[in-house]
Amino acid sequence: MRVLFCILSLFVAFNLCGKEINVTYPRDPFNLQLIVMRKKGLLKKEFAKDGIKIKFHDITNGLKQAKAVAAGKIDICAGINTTSIIIAAGQNIKLQMIRAVCNSTGVLALMTTNPNIKSIKDLKGKTIAGPSGATLHQLLLEALFKNKMTIKDVNYIPMSTPQTYKAMFAKKVDVGLLTTTEILQAKNEGARVLTTAKGLMRAKLVVAVSESFAKNHPDWVKRYIKVQDEAMAFIKNHKREALELAAKDLSISYQDAEWLYDNTKLINTLDIDDIKSLIKDIDFLYQQKLIPRKVHILTKGAGIQIAFKNFVRSQISLCAVSCE
């Protein structure tokens, strides 16, 4: 019996040591909670007591995060825009939102170095670069739509934001879709903002997992949420230290980190206006043919409602959200 107990103990210990949670580490658009969670070791500390390792992956693009989840390489998308979640759903990749991160409307922009481009109306026939299948892509479509144009009226080239920044200053493109650090750098280099997302769309960054992960590991989901709450509390009580961590991590000045903070609304849950905007986003992306059908991403919490026992309808927890 004693030998059997030792064998079982070794088996359990081996199993625990082999557990690993793969988490994306997108710092744009200004994912301050995640920076604090990683740099202060909060997430690692929470799971280390059970022998569970946290492995971070530098994947920023929303669709790439979603596809990495579908491929079984990523467990938690720690910062994915809801535009990408909608487009992924259109490709039969269903993600479960478990927490909100921020409303990033103020740190998304169309920028240019071309002196002849004064407004969105001047974009007809111009070359525009930016991430495909993400919030910035939707921003371009919304700006064009408001000015009675479509993507067919411009030459759109999909690129990552760092590539877009370089292409714009190399005069290879007329306009760039930029966010956070690239906006700051572009302004310093003399680029002008044609429009931000303000007044065009409500940008939303969230944390998401696969439905199977939510069902199989509700306790892990709950603990991740707990750690993000701890990070939010740290930011509230130690704002300067949090922004210093962000400035170092993003290789920007403290003043720039403060500007990003002031123009990014950090949140933990989506409110009623966010939910309404999600429905509008689905309709718009369907009209723009970025999804083949109208998808449903507001589903009940796949067994993880335990993470939120109390919530009010004006501040709907992502884990308990419904279409009611």
- Average pLDDT value over all residues in the chain: 87
* Residue 203 pLDDT exceeds 90: yes
| The predicted structure's pLDDT at residue 309 | 41
Which strands form 192-196's sheet, in the order they lie side by side? Answer: 155-158, 127-130, 175-179, 108-112, 192-196
Q: How confident is the model at residue 320 (pLDDT cuts 50, 70, 90)?
A: very low
pLDDT in tens, 246-293: 999 999 999 999 999 999 999 988 888 888 899 899 999 999 999 999
| The predicted structure's pLDDT at residue 300 | 52
* Residue 302 pLDDT exceeds 50: no
CB neighbours of residue 37 within 10 Å: 27
* Residue 240 pLDDT exceeds 90: yes
| The predicted structure's pLDDT at residue 301 | 43
Residue 135 CA from chain centroid, whole number = 9
| The predicted structure's pLDDT at residue 236 | 96
| The predicted structure's pLDDT at residue 18 | 53
Q: What is the spatial distance between Cα 157 and Cα 167, in angstroms, rounded to a whole number? A: 11
Using left for φ > 0, alpha for ψ between -120 and 50, and beta otherwise, residue 303 falls in left
Domains annotated on the chain, with CATH: 2-104+204-320 (3.40.190.10), 106-196 (3.40.190.10)
pLDDT in tens, 121-141: 999 999 999 999 999 999 999
| The predicted structure's pLDDT at residue 304 | 36
| The predicted structure's pLDDT at residue 172 | 96
More confident residue, 255 or 3: 255
* Residue 14 pLDDT exceeds 50: no
| The predicted structure's pLDDT at residue 4 | 44
| The predicted structure's pLDDT at residue 296 | 83
Distances (CA, A) of 89 to 28, 85, 214, 215: 22, 6, 16, 18
| The predicted structure's pLDDT at residue 311 | 41
Closest CA to 129 of 92, 103, 108, 158: 158
* Residue 317 pLDDT exceeds 80: no
Quote the pTM value.
0.86
